[in-house]
Structure 1
């Protein structure tokens, strides 16, 4: 275990339909670097995970409701994908407000696959260089982002990746990005 993120608290924003590997692998990398994570969601209890958007992949315990969370409580934000997960989040005012609060505070935000959909809804991608799953790139462009097809892209406070195939590069990039950010919690 390394300690680049020792003392850091990372929010993971996810809902039912989250792509399991896009939550588990980054969370494992964050733990391995010494971070503490909290899974924030729309309802208490557990959320249902998926594999390839279709196949059930178990459940994940929710640590805290989005409506009870504040960006001030965390050092960074992780937005895993799956199609259903970010589609639910972008329709929830509390989730969109929380993402906007992270962006407005200049805190690091990492999003993979369909995860950037919530960034679009929060209106924080204008002028940013991002990547994503191919089917939401038009949405990103229409929201003012410069969209590229690369394994991992870091632009200021944002780190994005395209798909589960990019997870090794994404995990390394978010550990680096999160470790460079000013620590907000103690």
Structure 2
């Protein structure tokens, strides 16, 4: 265990349908670096994870509702994928507003696979370079983002990856970016 993120508060925003490995592995990476992690969601209780959007995985206890927190409460944010998870988040005004405010605050954000759908809905990809799962790349382009096909893409505090195969590199990039701290505040 290292201490690059000791004292840092990291939020993970997810709901039912989150891809289990895309929740667990980034969480483990930042916890191993000393971060305190809080699972935020759009409902209380537990969220149901999935494996490859086909099989039910584990459930995870929600720590707080996204509607009850502010970006000021956290130092960094992770948006895991799964097809259903970001689709549910982007339909929730509190989740979208939180993500918009978080990105615009200049704090670092990591998102993998279908996770950038929530960034698209929050209108924070315009002029940014990122990657994602292939099926949502047109949505990113239509929202003004520039898409590249790379394992990890970093753009001023925004870290993105394509799919679960990229998780080791994604986790390492999250720790580095979250340790570096603030990006430029966006307007």
Q: Structure 1 length as normaliser, TM-score?
A: 0.97
SS class of match (2:11) = strand
Q: Residue 116 of structure 1 aligns with which residue?
A: 116
Which runs of no fewer than 5 residues in structure 1 stay unpaired? none
Taking the aligned partners of 2:31 and 2:37, their CA distance within structure 1 comes to 8
Report how far residue 17 of structure 1 moved. Answer: 0.3
Which secondary structure state, in structure 1, belongs to the residue aligned with residue 50 of structure 2? strand
- 1:15, distance to aligned residue in structure 2 (A): 0.3
Aligned to 1:86: 86
Q: How does 1:72-83 map to 2 (within 5 A)?
A: 72-83=72-83
**Equivalent residue for 2:168?**
168
Q: 1:69: how far off?
A: 1.1
Which residue number corresponds to residue 59 of structure 1? 59
User: Could you say what secondary structure the match of 1:7 adopts?
Assistant: coil
Looking at structure 1, the residues matched to 16 and 116 of structure 2 have their Cα atoms a distance apart, in angstroms, of 17
What is the aligned partner in structure 1 of residue 69 from structure 2? Answer: 69
Q: For 2:113 and 2:180, how far apart are their aligned partners in 1?
A: 23
Aligned length: 182
Residues 129-155 of structure 1 deviation map (CA, whole Å, 9 limit, x = unaligned) = 000000000000000011000000000
- Under a length normalisation based on structure 2, what TM-score does the superposition of the two structures give? 0.96
Misfit runs of 4+, over 4 Å? none
Structure 2 gaps, min length 5: 183-187
